[in-house]
Structure 1
Amino acid sequence: MARERPTALLVDLDGVLRRWDPDNATRVESRYDLPSGVLYEIAMQWALLRPAVTGQLSHADWMVAVVDALAGPGRDRDRMRAAVDEWQADRGTVDPDVLAFVREARAAGVRVGLATNSTDLLDTDLVTLGLTEEVDVVVSSSTLGVHKPMKEYFQQACLAVDTLPAQVLFVDDEDRAIRGARVAGLSAYRWTGPDDLRYLRAALAV
């Protein structure tokens, strides 16, 4: 059976609408004599990340935990704090092609939600990136207390865009999120880069 044409769009922030400098962490690690990859390795440990993206731990306290993990024999805590601050100073950039697509979708009457696993720094980041007026709703895991790819997250996201799951198209760069969205009844497309926009425009008829 053919699916209904989507009338709402949920788009991921990190890796889709927001791009990160892949060399930022590497430069910081080199400057502070840290092992390559250690910043992400520590910060993305699920025991630290999950509380941060479900509102149980502030972004600031999350970064304190990263500093605590970095500091140790032979590493000065103040220096590690400076390294983490320098790493976190980069808040990414907006992908202009994705933003243009979001604007086209909204102009065509498609309701657009930003669907992201995020910390309580999200509102500040959206201001910094100039995105506060670019979507209809923001569906943040730290506000909901539940994260992608959980079914409950997508149920809440569909309520936020006031659209039935079968009429929602979700775009994300992570396979787990895509699978979770499909389990929840949404159409879901795995983002690989700007070449995907041709298909997405056709899917939404924009």
Structure 2
Amino acid sequence: MDVLSARPAALLCDIDGVVRLRDTTHATRLEEQHGIPQGRIAAAALDPELLHQVVTGGITADEWCVEAAGRLAASLSMPSLAKEIMGTWMDPMGMVDDTVVQLLAAAAKSIPVVLVSNGTDRLERDLSLLGVTAHLPLLVNSARIGYAKPSAEIYRIAAQRAGVSLERCLLIDDTQQYVDGARRLGMPAVLYHGHESLRRALASIPSSAGQQRVTP
């Protein structure tokens, strides 16, 4: 169980897997539809080196799609379909977890809430179209700053965006590696595993900010 030793002065929250949910069976359905061996779409698109490039802004989402399609082409009897298939896989924006957005928006009335994501250059567009930005406008997108979680720099930049010191921020994330990275910096962090875990974390937030923000 995650226990917070002090009330946070700002909240840093992951996006994918928390605020935004994606269909994890989409790749499997595409592979079945086109007779592609299972796992090839992910192997082509989510190669760690390639993924690092796109989430740190080294390449755009469009360039990521082209490169991943090229890698996928070797798995297809009709390589010309690779770009279409990869584009179809990458296109869905996912769906918003309205309960999470409502909980975070309520917290944002008391303390700064900053969304922190290993995203691509499409992230801002997606969040705007999904209606998230209207409720949670503060964002640190790894593709815009050149640092991805669990890098210390992305957490420091997010804390600066919130206007408080790093150790007074609380991170909510569904990836243990990123939670551990935050804790190594002395920042409280909670592993997200559903609405109740978020509610428990937010219970430590006072009803009004009441404390002076610290600008690092």
TM class by shorter chain equals: over 0.9
In structure 2, list runs of 5 or more residues that go unmatched: 208-216
Change in Cα spacing, 1:4 to 1:48, as seen in structure 2 (3 Å) is: same
Stretches of 4+ aligned residues off by more than 4 angstroms = none
In structure 1, list runs of 5 or more residues that go unmatched: none
Q: Which SS does the other structure have where 1:189 is aligned?
A: strand
Normalised to the residue count of structure 1, the TM-score between the two structures is 0.93
- Number of aligned positions between the proteins: 204
Normalised to the residue count of structure 2, the TM-score between the two structures is 0.89
Following superposition, the deviation at residue 23 of structure 1 comes to 1.6
Q: Which SS does the other structure have where 2:11 is aligned?
A: strand
Following superposition, the deviation at residue 198 of structure 1 comes to 2.6
Residue 157 of structure 2 aligns with an amino acid whose one-letter code is Q
Residue 89 of structure 1 aligns with an amino acid whose one-letter code is D
Following superposition, the deviation at residue 32 of structure 1 comes to 1.3
Identity %, equivalent residues = 31
Following superposition, the deviation at residue 75 of structure 1 comes to 3.0
- Select the residue among 99, 105, 109 that pairs with 1:97: 99
* Equivalent residue, structure 1, for 2:68: 66
Following superposition, the deviation at residue 73 of structure 1 comes to 6.7
The alignment's C-alpha RMSD in Å is 1.5
Change in Cα spacing, 1:73 to 1:17, as seen in structure 2 (3 Å) is: closer
Residue 54 of structure 2 aligns with an amino acid whose one-letter code is A
Alignment check: 8 A CA contact 2:128 2:134 kept: no
* Equivalent residue, structure 2, for 1:47: 49
* Equivalent residue, structure 1, for 2:189: 188
Q: Which SS does the other structure have where 1:204 is aligned?
A: coil
Show CA shifts across 1:42-62 (max 9, x none).
211111000100011101111
Alignment check: 8 A CA contact 2:192 2:198 kept: no
Following superposition, the deviation at residue 74 of structure 1 comes to 4.9
* Equivalent residue, structure 1, for 2:34: 32
